[in-house]
Each structure stands twice: as structure tokens, then as C-alpha cells.
Amino acid sequence: MLYHFRVWGKILYNWTSATLFITTHCLSQPEEHVALFIFGDSTYDAGNNNYINTTDFYRSNYAPYGETFFNHPTGRFSDGRLVSDFIAEFAKLPYITPYLQPGYNQFTDGANFASAGAGALAETYKPGNLIDLKTQLSYFTNLERQLIQKLGDAEAKALLSRAVYLIAIGSNDYAAAVSANSSVSPEEYVNMVNGNLTFVIKEIYNKGGRKFGIPNLEPMGCLPSAKAVNPSNTSACFQALNDLTQLHNKALSEVLQKLQNELDGFKYSLADAYTSLSDKINNPLKYGFKEANIACCGSGSFRGTNSCGGKRLSNKYELCENVSEYVFFDGGHTTEKANEQFAKLMWSGTPNIIGPYNLKALFELF
């Protein structure tokens, strides 16, 4: 997730999508083919923000991002692959292309709509600088039309029905809420966030989507960027942010159970990112890490200042020598190594960490 602790004004905006040219190589897919559609924030953004009119704060298309696997920056907020990239690998799909990438032509494998800085709420951070969740849904609606045009109605509906939908959203909403000292109660705010998420899930369901993979929120107060601004001025986690995160996670679990009871054929995989990352932070050696409090790239306390690459809050930053020893690459994002570990849990984890289905099971369901 991409966030910083600053209050932005609420403004209305209009978004005009970039022109998209789609070419097709195959208009019919085998029945077992399962596409992957990805929504969310910087957790899953593979480069959409490279193609919108935004600032470098919401981009990572510069070094040292991408150094581990791609050997060049791609727009991913990590040193290498994201969780969603590993899920695509496990599903034997190519890396899912950012929807706004010019010349995009892998639509039968899915699309990535995620945008760094995005929230479930349109007013989270500065509207127009990113692609909020409902705007991502509008892009998916556009793609649905293109699928119908290219494949025909029946084939397109079959593809959308077989597909898996990954959604990672909410962290930016709660970081903004903590910064703003909102007059809205925590419970009301959580209901607003999950209400928008529920709306998007139902809209995807109405278009044929049946299988959803959703991680809950990490212990946001324990990220280096949150520790760096902890009002208590200690090395402890920012507890107010963790409390809000846990409130969200409890409500999210209840929302998904309710949707399963209400919507015929709705199936979901809820991954416990909170527990998974908490254990890495508390027991780094258990997972092959040496450092779980300080980020590999950044500046200030815990290297939590969002300056990795020198194009955001400061033009100065520090970079670790061995990224594989670190849980966090920058102040708010985990390393490729940590991403791979969590992706494996999402793919084939047991009910203590993911349920009622894991992603492998969802991909195999028809």
C-alpha cells in the first residue's frame, strides 16, 4: 500500500480513460482457461500509474524499484515481483498486464486495474492522482464490452464466470483517516470502506464473476512508515492504526460470509495478511530474514520516510546491501521475498491462514 500521513482536500473530478488499442491472437479459449482480474492499490499495481497524469509520489517507475527480478523499474512498489505476479505464475498465466499499458493485448488472460494510492473511497488522498476502486470497476466494465465484442456474448460470459478476481484495498483509506482525525466514528468509517468494496464485488458478480480472492489488511501500524510517525515516539507499532485495521478485518470477514449466504455461487478466499506479516515481523529468522523493522530503502527513522528513489519526500535515501535479508523494501511495501512467501500461503495455504478456499482451489473450480 502507498500512503503518507497528510490530509488532502476533497474535490470532485472527472476521469477520462486513455485510448486503448486491443489486438487479439485467439478468439476462443479452452474451457479450463481461467483468467485473473486484479483490483487494488500499490500492493498489486503493476504499472498503471505510469500511464496517468500523476506525480512521482504515486509512481515507482524509477530505480531502485524492480532491481531484483526485472532488473529495471516497472511501476511495481517492490524490488521485484508482487504477490499478484506470483499468483499468476502459480496459475500458469503470464504476468497480468496493467490495463492502461499501451498496446495491451492479453485480455483473455485477465487485466490489472490496481493503482498505487487508491482507496475504496474516492476521496482518499487527492482525487485525480490515482484510480480509485470504483473507477477501476468502470475500466472493468469497458473491458467487459470489449470481450463481448471480440469473443461474442457466450464466450465472454464464460470467461468472466471462470475467472478469479483479486482485490487488495483499504490501507490508504485508513492511513488517511488516522491523519485527518476524522469526526466519523471508526465503526462508521469501516462501514463506508467495506460498503464500497461490497458494491464493487456485487457489480463484478452481476457481470458473471463468482470467485474472489481478498487479503485482509496487514498490521499497518507496524510498517516502517507508520512507526516513523508514531505519536508515542517509541519503536513500537502505531497502535491506533492497528486498532482500525483490526476493526476493518473483523468487518470484512463478516461481509464476505454474508455475501456467500446471499449470492448464489459466490465463493471467496480470505487470506490473513495481518497474522502472516505480524509473525514475520516478530520472528524474522523463522522466515529467513534478518531485519523486520527497518526498510531496505528510504530515509529517517526505520527508513520509513517515503523517499526511496529520491523523487518523493526527499531526494536523499539509503539503500541496503542485501535486500533478501529485509521484510520491507520501502516504508510501506514488502520485498519480493516476503511477497513470494505470502503468495504461497494465498495459493495453497491451510484454513488457519486462508479460507474457506485457497486460491488454488478457486482456480480449479468450474
pLDDT for residue 25: 38
pLDDT for residue 98: 97
In this predicted model, what pLDDT tens digit does every residue of 162-177 receive, in sequence order? Answer: 999 999 999 999 999 8
CA distance 268 to 275: 19
pLDDT mean over 203-228: 97
Least confident of 2-11, 95-104, 114-123: 2-11
pLDDT for residue 22: 34
Grid coordinates given for 70:
526485472
Q: Where are the alpha helices (DSSP H) in the chain?
A: 83-90, 133-151, 153-162, 171-180, 186-206, 224-227, 239-262, 273-282, 336-348, 359-364
Residues in the chain: 366
pLDDT for residue 20: 35
CA distance 54 to 33: 35
Longest CA–CA span in the chain (Å) reads 59
pLDDT mean over 254-270: 98
pLDDT mean over 60-78: 97
Least confident of 12-26, 77-91, 118-132: 12-26
Quickly state the pLDDT bin for 268 (edges 50, 70, 90).
Answer: very high
DSSP string, 209-253: --EEEEE----GGGSHHHHTT-TT-SSS--HHHHHHHHHHHHHHH
With a cut of 50, say whether residue 8 has pLDDT above it: no
CA distance 291 to 285: 9
Q: Which residues have a catalytic role annotated?
A: 42, 330, 333
Where is pLDDT greater, at 177 or 257?
257
On average, the pLDDT of the chain sits at 90
Percent of the chain whose predicted confidence (pLDDT) is above 70: 90
- 258 alpha carbon, distance to own chain's centre: 23
With a cut of 70, say whether residue 27 has pLDDT above it: no
CA geometry: angle 106, 160, 344, nearest 5 deg = 75
pLDDT mean over 122-151: 92
In this predicted model, what pLDDT tens digit does every residue of 324-362 receive, in sequence order? Answer: 999 999 999 999 999 999 999 999 999 999 999 999 999
In this predicted model, what pLDDT tens digit does every residue of 274-321 receive, in sequence order? Answer: 999 999 999 999 999 999 999 999 999 999 999 999 999 889 999 999
With a cut of 70, say whether residue 229 has pLDDT above it: yes
With a cut of 90, say whether residue 264 has pLDDT above it: yes
pLDDT for residue 21: 32
Residue 192 and residue 184 in contact, taking contact as beta carbons nearer than 8 Å = yes
pLDDT for residue 2: 55
Grid coordinates given for 277:
506479516
Closest CA to 37 of 103, 102, 90, 87: 87
